[in-house]
Structure 1
Amino acid sequence: MSGPDCLDYLSSQFHIGSVREVVHLPDGLMNDNWRIEADAGIFALKKIRDVPFDLARRNLRTLSALAKTGVPAPSPRQTADADPVVEVGRDGFSLVSWVEGRHRPGTDLPLSEVTALGALLGHLHEVLNRTLTGLPPVIDVPAASVTAPEATLAQIERFLAQLATLGEPTSFDEEAARFLVERRLLLEKFADERPVSAAPAGPFGWTHGDFQYRNVLWQDSEIVAVLDWDRIRVRPFGEEAVRTATVQFGGADGVLDSERVAAFMDGYRSVIAISPAELEDAVSRLWWKRMTDPWVLVFHYDRSDHSCDDLFAPQERMLSWWTERREEVVAAFIAKA
């Protein structure tokens, strides 16, 4: 696949010279990405789709500061006006240095590397909240919305009604209908167990927002790059640590690797002080968010965006598995490996 139609304009704005090779990267879930080989080197070109361009600019400038501290992050390319985003009509593009490496799902990692991964996330949280990043100091505790079960039940009924009208449902449609019925039963059973406070417990501050194996590059046993900094935002640290562990160490069968969760959290807590009670709060909040947020179906049916369809079934299997073993999951997060 060729690059975007405006590639010549982008190469001139980013001052990379003549483009010799363009390869589309099919693995991106939210954005279009290309590997670009040009006179000035090899780069990753991104068409920004899921964040406002001004926010992308702020995050890319933060990335430049992080790279100077030794954080394994690619360096953004800038225009002559020091702009890391080039706008072409309604589209926006960023360009960062290319880093060779491979993505490694968490269940493939030996425990020593799992612990190192957790320590790196802790280090990122610590560095992101230094003044050198240019991000403003965080003072107020971030509020955490707690979705009412009635709202999600209404969504479920809406999707089920839509699915019932399909003359020739696909395999995804059939799977969605089955999992929606299961989700409805879970919600009705556990509606009273949602978090009661809108104030999450534990430390908070600027976070990466999507730290997981699709955004981490390895060379052998070394992490050489953390990618996709589009979602830098203030969050509870526990929220990102728990989310990372469930994405990184949950298999397609929906089962969470408890041993690796414990090793990951050991590494994280070697850098960030977070208590067992604060971690339990984070685990409970993420469980409820998964229970009440059928976001893949919103993408698929409301936005006609099928890029995340493959995530749906594993997420639903994990929700069922997790709900049956909530105490066991909490124990994995607060245990010492």
Structure 2
Amino acid sequence: MQAVLIDGDGIGPEVTAAACRVVAAAGVKVDWIRAPAGAAAAADYGDPLPDETLELIRRYRVALKGPVTTPVGRGFRSVNVRLRQGLDLFASVRPVTSLAGVTTPYENVDLVVVRENTEGLYAGLEHEVVPGVVESVRLVTRAAAERIVRFAFELARARGRRVVTFCHKADVMRLSDGLFLECARAVADDYPFVLFDEKAIDNVCLELAADPTRFDVLVMENQFGDLISDLCAGLVGGLGVVPGANIGGRNAVFEAVHGSAPDIAGTGRANPIAVVRSAAMLLDHVGRHEAAAQIERAVAATLQAGVGLTPDLGGSGTTATLTDELVRQVAR
């Protein structure tokens, strides 16, 4: 099979190379088509997301992406936002599961955060009204709201999940979240065998901190999803172990949800597990279900054995030692 590979910035090339090794060990031959994106692409092409990268993803349909650097409050616009909007990758999917060998205050967490990826405050509709006053527009459309909630219900049905919880703040944002909630209720009516719940986003945060095992599938708008998905990653060990996907009608980009960590780039200390698990999601997406499950089993076995782990996972190993152990476990 063929797929696009975006190495990314900082530790990106190191962790994506590790993921490619693990995929190969699982017996899947992938012709990786490299495509530029991020700060390095901005320097080489004058654009952090060259048109050729978008065209390659459109041609090959799926991509594995390493983390890219996004300047804070200056410089170029987020590559991640441009990718999602340019390819209409409307659904962010973050599976969050407890992992044996990773010690956290919570056990038996097993939920999925589904986030609308193209609208809300992250649509980037900002302007300066007068000097010192900036206005940001929170965009919600019926079409996008219905689409993401339907995606969440279809995911729940396909994976045998029981409850879809819609997260909102309709008591304050009565028009925008009010429309979203109205759409969620209407879509839920088409899925009588999946339970539907609706909760205020602040209450969701409280309940996640108290007992995250009560949740199954969470669906919400863009900014809420950004915050909640990272919060949920913290429940099971952090961004270094949680995979992610951005899925549209035709294309999908799979990526680790952590940053490019330039401070440790080249030191051999980068943890590749998040991008390895994202690669497993890619394989599952294209129908290579057994290979995806094989990789997930290898991750679990590696973490349980505690062999070769990087410092963030409590070990003294390196990117190379952790990748070697993952490859060994996959090949068993």
Give the TM bin, normalised by the shorter chain. under 0.3
Bigger relative contact order, structure 1 or 2 (CA pairs below 8 A, ≥6 apart) = 2
Instruction: Give the TM-score normalised by the residue count of structure 2.
Output: 0.27
Query: Which one has the largest radius of gyration?
Result: 1
